[in-house]
């Protein structure tokens, strides 16, 4: 019997599903974008299944971690980059305890296990091995990650948090270099409960490749412009690893006859007939990850509640080997008054929908830019920005403002010499939005790239500048950011006037 505990709650109006009991580290929330839907007509709405990692009052023993640091030691890493990378790795490892497993892999033309997987008991030896790493050769990134996965597998158990932290500053030039292929590899690693955090250093790394690997393995991705920021990023990443509260999360949504699941926004999902399945890897305390499902609901009759979907969520707690299951049902109420439909709408969910669709369009525009179609790209960027700004105003959402700002900046810089910097920054933000899901749950300025990457707010503000006055948005194309920011202060609303020095 795998199921330890089954909770079934009927959710009229698509409200909350499963409040966590005192010891539960995860709260499952099931919400509808429109708890009230029109009675006599077909309607499109969104079902959100959120998993929130709860901060525990009594701090439970954390699960042991099994981490591999993978360092690019190719020739381009020489100088301060390598110095900072070594130092960052050493500092990050100080956070680990004696029960944790660590390994260090480097890659140049090939891959080498500088520190084969071992317990963190012999720190001095590990540090000494890291300090000996010197740059040379080319960039066999795939070999590095492959070797890292082998090191993780040596001690991997279901009770451990398994993660690869990969730092690279260049293009993979030995082995596969296709982002799609690395994305597939990420999917495979996620099935093994291995997530990969990718840290892109400088302007010359393959952002798409690293982002795909991180996104599909449910890890984090960050763009770091200056080597001096590596230590902070590494430390925050390890903080994320050490605060995981649940793993191997599965969400299954089964829609009744007539309700058609259309697509899941921002996540890999399997939709087969009326059944939707999504897998997520790890959830840390203070983080929300969610599934946002677009559904077509058929016309109904009268006041009979409409079942939108049966939701099954399973996850494995740190202190249990068997998964816990939560079952809920999402129901919408039929109403004849369209204003009631509108007034019942959940603004937070609609904001998330807007963010995800905005990211999709941004991705399209970036692809156009990469293909040299800068005029078309600029048009898509600016249209997307307009929509995001409009919705930001409608929903009073600072997140949508900043996303819109980013698209304006990107759109105005498609031919700029700083394009690569803006691109990497914007794409990192987009990847974050796609997979992070729920930045607002974290009150601190340190936020997530899909759940955990440290970033600093001033850096983002310098690039995707926030409105300085409630009535005016000033786009300053100043210095590119050194790192990417995840969350915005919750403030500001009002009319937006777009201006630029170019008179657009």
- Give the binding site for another protein (CB under 8 A): 109-112, 137, 140, 142-143, 145-150, 174-176, 178, 180-182, 184-185, 187-189, 191-192, 270-273, 277, 279
Q: In what order do the strands lie in the sheet containing 194-201?
A: 111-119, 101-107, 65-72, 161-168, 194-201, 221-224
Complete edge-to-edge strand list for the sheet that includes strand 43-53: 26-32, 43-53, 288-297, 260-264
Residue entry with tokens 């006859």: 257
Measured between alpha carbons, how far apart are the two ends of the chain, in Å?
Answer: 64
Q: How far is the CB of 140 from another protein (least distance, A)?
A: 7
| CB nearer another protein, residue 252 or residue 423 | 252
Nearer to another protein, 107 or 401 (CB): 107
Shortest Å, Cβ 247 to another protein: 14
Nearer to another protein, 105 or 161 (CB): 105
- Measured from the CB atom, the residue of 120 and 145 that comes closer to another protein is 145
Nearer to another protein, 189 or 425 (CB): 189
> CB of residue 361 vs another protein: minimum separation in angstroms?
20
* Residue 56 DSSP SS3: coil
Q: What angle do CA 479, 482, 485 make, to 5 degrees?
A: 105
Q: Give me the least distance between CB of 138 and another protein, in Å please.
A: 8
The Cα–Cα gap between 310 and 115 comes to 47
Nearest to 83 by CA among 139, 120, 132: 132
52 CA to centre of own chain: 14
What token pair was written down for 143?
């070999």
Nearer to another protein, 224 or 279 (CB): 279
- Quote the least distance from Cβ 192 to another protein, whole Å: 5
For residue 313, the minimal CB distance to another protein (Å) is 15
Q: What is the smallest separation between the CB atom of 309 and another protein, expressed in angstroms?
A: 17
* Closer by beta carbon to another protein, 157 or else 468: 157
Tell me how long the chain is: 504
DSSP letters of 19-44? ---TT-SEEEEEEES-SEEESSS-EE
Q: 253 phi and psi, to 5 degrees?
A: -120, 125
């Amino acid at each position: 019997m795998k199921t330890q505990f089954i909770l079934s709650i009927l959710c009229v109006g698509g409200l909350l599903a499963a409040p966590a009991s005192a010891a539960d580290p995860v709260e499952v929330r099931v919400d509808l974008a429109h708890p009230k839907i029109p009675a006599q007509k077909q309607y499109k709405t969104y079902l959100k299944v959120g998993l929130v990692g709860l901060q525990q009052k009594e701090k439970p023993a954390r699960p042991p971690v099994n981490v591999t640091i993978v360092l690019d030691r190719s020739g381009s890493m020489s100088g301060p980059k390598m110095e900072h990378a070594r130092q960052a790795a050493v500092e990050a490892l100080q956070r680990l305890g004696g029960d944790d497993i660590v390994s260090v892999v480097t890659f140049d033309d090939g891959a080498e296990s500088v520190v084969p997987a071992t317990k963190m008991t012999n720190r001095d030896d590990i540090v000494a091995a890291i300090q000996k790493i010197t740059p040379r050769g080319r960039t066999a990134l795939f070999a590095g990650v492959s070797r890292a996965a082998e090191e993780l597998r040596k001690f991997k158990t279901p009770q451990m948090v398994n993660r690869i932290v990969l730092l690279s500053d260049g293009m993979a030039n030995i082995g596969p270099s296709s982002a799609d292929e690395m994305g597939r590899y990420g999917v495979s690693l996620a099935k093994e409960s291995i997530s990969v955090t990718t840290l892109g250093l400088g302007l010359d790394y393959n952002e798409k490749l690293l982002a795909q690997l991180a996104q599909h393995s449910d890890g984090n991705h960050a763009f770091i412009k200056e080597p001096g920021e590596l230590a902070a990023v590494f430390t925050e990443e390890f903080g994320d690893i050490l605060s995981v509260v649940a793993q191997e999360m599965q969400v299954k949504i089964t829609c009744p006859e007539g309700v058609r699941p259309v697509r899941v926004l921002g996540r890999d999902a399997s939709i087969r007939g009326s059944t939707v399945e999504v897998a997520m890897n790890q959830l840390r305390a203070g983080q929300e990850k969610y599934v946002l499902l677009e559904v077509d609901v058929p016309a109904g009759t009268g006041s009979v509640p409409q079942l939108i979907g049966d939701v099954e969520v399973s996850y494995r707690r740190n202190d249990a080997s068997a998964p816990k299951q939560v079952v809920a049902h999402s129901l919408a109420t039929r109403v004849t008054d369209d204003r009631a439909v509108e007034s019942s709408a959940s603004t937070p969910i609609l904001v998330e929908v807007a963010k995800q669709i905005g990211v999709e369009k941004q991705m399209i525009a970036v692809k156009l830019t990469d293909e040299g179609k800068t005029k078309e790209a600029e048009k898509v960027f600016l249209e997307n920005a307009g929509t995001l700004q409009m919705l930001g105003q409608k929903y009073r959402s600072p997140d949508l403002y900043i996303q819109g700002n980013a698209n304006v900046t990107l759109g105005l810089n498609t031919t700029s010499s700083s394009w690569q910097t803006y691109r990497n920054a914007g794409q990192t933000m987009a990847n974050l939005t796609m997979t992070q899901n729920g930045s607002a749950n974290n009150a601190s300025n340190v936020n997530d790239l899909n759940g955990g990457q440290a970033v600093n707010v001033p850096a983002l503000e310098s690039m995707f500048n926030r409105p300085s006055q409630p009535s005016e948005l000033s786009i300053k194309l100043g210095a590119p950011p050194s790192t990417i920011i995840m969350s915005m202060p919750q403030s500001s609303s009002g009319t937006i006037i777009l201006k630029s020095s170019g008179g657009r």
